[in-house]
Amino acid sequence: MYKKVLPGGVLRWVDAKFYATTRVGNPEAVEDVIVLERDVTDDLEKLHQAAEDGEKFRDLAENQHDVLFSLDLQGHFTLLTFSAYTQWGYRPEELIGRSCWGMLKPENRVSAESFVRDVVDRRAPNPNQPFVVERACKNGTYTKEEIRLSLKLNPLTNAPLSLNGVSRKVCLFVCLFVCLFVCLFVCLLPDFHLHLSSP
């Protein structure tokens, strides 16, 4: 592969193959060289753009707080972003192949399984509606999360292939709501004073 300057100063990348032609009976005597050139500039630009897009997606997926995941139709993890480690304490490779149901609080399992079954069977009235569950973290605590699912379909048969999901901690919203409420309360009551008494 090499660069080639076309008339007008346009620079293009070219992939070339060289073939030698010889005389019949004398294979060592090269008579001509045939060069087949192919302009690969557009292909290289597409490859470079795809690499940049992949890097941007990887940065986005790895640096967000929500856990992005995929499940097979039986509820086993097939893909997780690294935020599973920061949110749940599990590295993604620890959870691949494990059932997502075992991580839920027992009282959440039946309703979550039922909702997912309705999404897969396309009976859910609003499959994008979030549902809230409590998930077990590696340290033994539970975290309250809002989960949104989308069904991935086979483009040829329209049959369900897998589930893609986003898990977001609910407590972040509760904390933001409480902070906003306290700020409004303090601003609306200018005579409000907080007295600390010492023992």
CATH of the domain at 146: 3.30.450.20
Q: Are strands 67-71 and 142-153 parallel, antiparallel or unpaired?
A: unpaired
Cα–Cα distance between 1 and 14 in angstroms, integer?
6
Q: Tell me: the pLDDT tens digits for 98-107?
A: 998 888 888 8
Residue 197 in any domain: the answer is no
Residues 77 and 126 in one domain: yes
Q: Which pLDDT score is estimated for 62?
A: 56
Is pLDDT of 54 > 70?
A: no
Asked if residues 86 and 133 have their Cβ atoms less than 8 Å apart, the reply is no
Q: Which pLDDT score is estimated for 173?
A: 43
Residues 80 and 27 in one domain: no
143/55: higher pLDDT: 143
Fill in the DSSP letter of residue 123: -
Residues 87 and 165 in one domain: yes
Is pLDDT of 168 > 80?
A: no
Q: Which pLDDT score is estimated for 113?
A: 86
Residues 53 and 88 in one domain: no
| Tokens standing for residue 102 | 């075992």
User: Which range of residues forms the domain containing residue 22?
Assistant: 2-58
Asked if residues 35 and 16 have their Cβ atoms less than 8 Å apart, the reply is yes
Residues 158 and 78 in one domain: yes
Provide the pLDDT confidence category of residue 37 given band limits of 50, 70 and 90.
confident
Residue 194 in any domain: the answer is no
Residues 87 and 170 in one domain: yes
Q: Which pLDDT score is estimated for 148?
A: 82
Cβ-Cβ contacts under 8 Å for 36 (sequence gap 6 or more): 16, 17, 19
Cα–Cα distance between 55 and 100 in angstroms, integer?
28
Residues 21 and 78 in one domain: no
Q: What whole-number percentage of the chain has pLDDT above 90?
A: 4
Phi, psi for residue 176 in degrees, rounded to 5: -65, -40
Cα–Cα distance between 71 and 149 in angstroms, integer?
10
Q: Tell me: the pLDDT tens digits for 171-189?
A: 544 444 444 554 444 455 4
Mean of per-residue pLDDT scores for the chain:
76
Supply the DSSP string of 49-78, one letter for each residue. Answer: HHHHHHHHHHHHHHS-SSEEEEE-TTSBEE
Helix (H) or strand (E) holding 154: none
Q: Is 88 exposed, middle or buried (0-12, 13-18, 19+ CB in 10 A)?
A: buried
The H-assigned helical ranges of the chain are 41-62, 83-88, 92-95, 106-120, 171-188
Number of structural domains, the chain? Answer: 2
Among 1-5, 7-11, 165-169, name the most confident range.
7-11
The mean pLDDT of 70-79, rounded to a whole number, is 88
Residue 130 in any domain: the answer is yes
Residues 87 and 159 in one domain: yes
Q: Tell me: the pLDDT tens digits for 103-141?
A: 888 888 888 888 888 888 877 667 667 778 888 888 888
Residues 78 and 169 in one domain: yes
Would the pTM count as exceeding 0.75?
Answer: no
